[in-house]
A and B are shown apart, each in its own frame.
Chain A
């Protein structure tokens, strides 16, 4: 097992109380699996991604355990996490491509980064160049400043940097949202290539764009309001989902080839609940078309068939 997360609870401290952004999350990722993490804004996917690597104020660790390659990750302790960060677990945060120091050449930035982890820059130069070729960047890029690169180039550079030390787990947070369609495709395919070449063992790809996940992810985890709704292989999530939220979400996506006049799409009425005082029981209850009285009790996230987990009383009815 590559990644095992058990009952992870991470809240945000605010002036008005704790926002229960991640409220008891349990799931596993196998070696070599690319798991997509999808959900709407406020569902907790970015919190999940960041808490695995960099749990800092205002995030607050409440409880839970994270095991990577059979080793417990001390995510509550920023200092202890230092030796795991970048070498065993790595993250590409959402605006990474805009966060590069504009006054540093790329090469200098890389050597500083590696130096801080105790790795000699010169030794890794050949491997670095090989990877730059893989992502179709010339070796000159090490001598350029970030402002000379386009968005796509910067994103590919960040991809290379984050995976330079072959981490076991890579978390990619919305890395394709700001890119053109053609660059999106190239960057997404590079992610898969990196996994295929074993530069990275497993990945969590966080995005709101489920169609990209359909193209590259092996499995998809759907989150809603800080809790997990469904996890299954990509095929099942897209073509035969079981959780009502997943069903409504998939059916609200416009598809090429479908017109309003032929088939009007329907959204999900209502709003996601505020997580300062989340509703008791199933958080999707208020907007769910098939909610019934048992839903005031929180449904557990249970495996209903091999590798297919759902948190919904309606689906568990037969097995409960």
Chain B
């Protein structure tokens, strides 16, 4: 359904735009129909940037994003609006997604004005009620309220209901539960899986590995704007091959085992060498003078549905 082909986003910084800041570099992956794919990365990995490029909120520097065969950079006013009937997004902070001056329902009114101007009042009300019930909200409890009168979980579900009104095929969920309480997170997560079983494809952007494992069949691990490992969630989690993925797995605080005695190199602020591998400065199996410094390693399929971008993944340094 959605295909990213060598997508890059490079920001120009410095006076007169002299310096280049690569946020996303040559990322390619695809999401099929009715599939949840987790895009996992920490801060600075470029995951939110990718999400915004898919939603056409940020321009693409190079590469193509193709949705159902159409290159989205070719979309203009009318066709762009059509695109939004199929693709929508929900962001991290539930409270900042609402205009503070008006009630939460306004987001539904806007959808009606822009996409369904001819629909009758009663029919529209029925549509809203059924969308709200689909996301597990009681219409009587949540309609006609200001955002500050609803909880974070309710607000996020409200936004999902808005997307459902449009009958979308693809949802970009950018850290949608990280600002919610632990007890409500799970409900929103489960909702996403239910929606998937009804045919919705979701790109689930997160920094939390356990969430990615819980809801998606496929995962993509991002580091400093590049894909370092990609493939079936099962294979990545039980057999991580890229040194960064291994480090992630070892550092994530888990409830079933304690942290091991691992020396972890902390991330430097700026990467000196932009041509080589992004993990160069922290990698335990890095080849200082050779390939790791000169080239970004390509993504290679090492087993079915398991790709790694590392020249030395086979070498085992005891972790």
Direct contact of A and B (CB under 8 A): yes
Where the two chains meet, the residues of A that have a C-beta atom closer than 8 Å to any C-beta of B are 40-41, 136, 150-152, 180-186, 188-189, 208-212, 214-215, 238, 248-250, 252-260, 264-269, 271-272
Residues of B within 8 A of A184 (CB): 251, 253
Residues of B within 8 A of A214 (CB): 253-255, 258
Can you list 8 contacts pairing A with B, beta carbon distance less than 8 Å? A40-B183, A182-B247, A184-B251, A210-B182, A253-B210, A254-B186, A254-B189, A264-B190
B186 CB contact (under 8 Å) in A181, A208, A252: A252
Complex: how many Å from CA A270 to CA B215? 23
A211 CB contact (under 8 Å) in B151, B253, B266: B253
Complex: how many Å from CA A210 to CA B210? 13
B186–A266 touching, CB < 8 Å: yes
Residues of A within 8 A of B209 (CB): 256
Complex: how many Å from CA A272 to CA B43? 31
What's the minimum C-beta distance from B214 to chain A, rounded to whole angstroms? Answer: 5
> A182-B267, A257-B213, A259-B213 are contacts. A267–B43 as well, Cβ < 8 Å?
no
B253–A256 touching, CB < 8 Å: no
Complex: how many Å from CA A271 to CA B259? 33
A210 CB contact (under 8 Å) in B185, B207, B255: B255
Residues of B within 8 A of A271 (CB): 151
B181–A41 touching, CB < 8 Å: yes
B211–A152 touching, CB < 8 Å: no
Q: Does B237 contact A (CB under 8 A)?
A: yes
What is the interface residue range for chain B against chain A? Answer: 35 or more
Residues of B within 8 A of A266 (CB): 186
Complex: how many Å from CA A27 to CA B27? 52
Where the two chains meet, the residues of B that have a C-beta atom closer than 8 Å to any C-beta of A are 42-43, 151, 181-187, 189-190, 193, 207-211, 213-215, 233, 237, 247-249, 251-256, 258-259, 264-267, 269
What's the minimum C-beta distance from A295 to chain B, rounded to whole angstroms? Answer: 19
What residue of chain A has the Cβ atom nearest to residue B154's Cβ? A271
Complex: how many Å from CA A136 to CA B268? 13
B213–A254 touching, CB < 8 Å: yes
Complex: how many Å from CA A164 to CA B186? 41
Q: How many A-B residue pairs have CB under 8 A?
A: 120
Residues of A within 8 A of B248 (CB): 181-182
A260–B190 touching, CB < 8 Å: yes
What residue of chain B has the Cβ atom nearest to residue A238's Cβ? B255
B214 CB contact (under 8 Å) in A151, A186, A260: A260
What residue of chain A has the Cβ atom nearest to residue B151's Cβ? A271
Residues of B within 8 A of A252 (CB): 182-183, 185-186
Complex: how many Å from CA A249 to CA B255? 13
What's the minimum C-beta distance from A277 to chain B, rounded to whole angstroms? Answer: 16
What residue of chain B has the Cβ atom nearest to residue A261's Cβ? B193
Residues of B within 8 A of A40 (CB): 181-183
A150 CB contact (under 8 Å) in B186, B254, B269: B269
Residues of A within 8 A of B255 (CB): 210-211, 214, 238, 250, 253, 255
Residues of A within 8 A of B42 (CB): 180-182
Known: A210-B182, A211-B254, A255-B210. 20 other contacts (CB 8 A): A152-B266, A181-B42, A182-B247, A182-B267, A188-B253, A214-B258, A248-B183, A249-B183, A252-B183, A256-B252, A256-B256, A257-B213, A257-B237, A258-B210, A258-B213, A264-B190, A265-B189, A265-B214, A267-B184, A272-B181
B258 CB contact (under 8 Å) in A215, A255, A268: A215
> A252-B185, A257-B213, A266-B186 are contacts. A152–B207 as well, Cβ < 8 Å?
no
What's the minimum C-beta distance from B94 to chain A, rounded to whole angstroms? Answer: 12
A249–B269 touching, CB < 8 Å: no
Complex: how many Å from CA A182 to CA B182? 22
Complex: how many Å from CA A63 to CA B214? 45
Residues of B within 8 A of A265 (CB): 186, 189-190, 214
Residues of A within 8 A of B249 (CB): 256
B215 CB contact (under 8 Å) in A150, A208, A211, A260: A260
8 closest A-B pairs by beta carbon, nearest first, are A268-B183, A211-B253, A267-B186, A40-B181, A267-B187, A254-B210, A180-B42, A185-B251
Complex: how many Å from CA A243 to CA B58? 48
What residue of chain A has the Cβ atom nearest to residue B193's Cβ? A260
What residue of chain A has the Cβ atom nearest to residue B215's Cβ? A260
Complex: how many Å from CA A253 to CA B42? 20
> A214-B253, A215-B253 are contacts. A182–B189 as well, Cβ < 8 Å?
no
What's the minimum C-beta distance from B235 to chain A, rounded to whole angstroms? Answer: 13
Residues of B within 8 A of A150 (CB): 267, 269
In the complex, which of the residues A189, A238, A268 has the most CB atoms of chain B within 10 Å of its own CB atom?
A: A268
What's the minimum C-beta distance from B237 to chain A, rounded to whole angstroms? Answer: 7
> A238-B255, A255-B254, A264-B190 are contacts. A185–B264 as well, Cβ < 8 Å?
yes
What residue of chain B has the Cβ atom nearest to residue A43's Cβ? B181
Residues of A within 8 A of B247 (CB): 182
Complex: how many Å from CA A264 to CA B211? 12
What's the minimum C-beta distance from B176 to chain A, rounded to whole angstroms? Answer: 14
B207–A181 touching, CB < 8 Å: yes
Residues of A within 8 A of B183 (CB): 40, 248-249, 252, 267-268
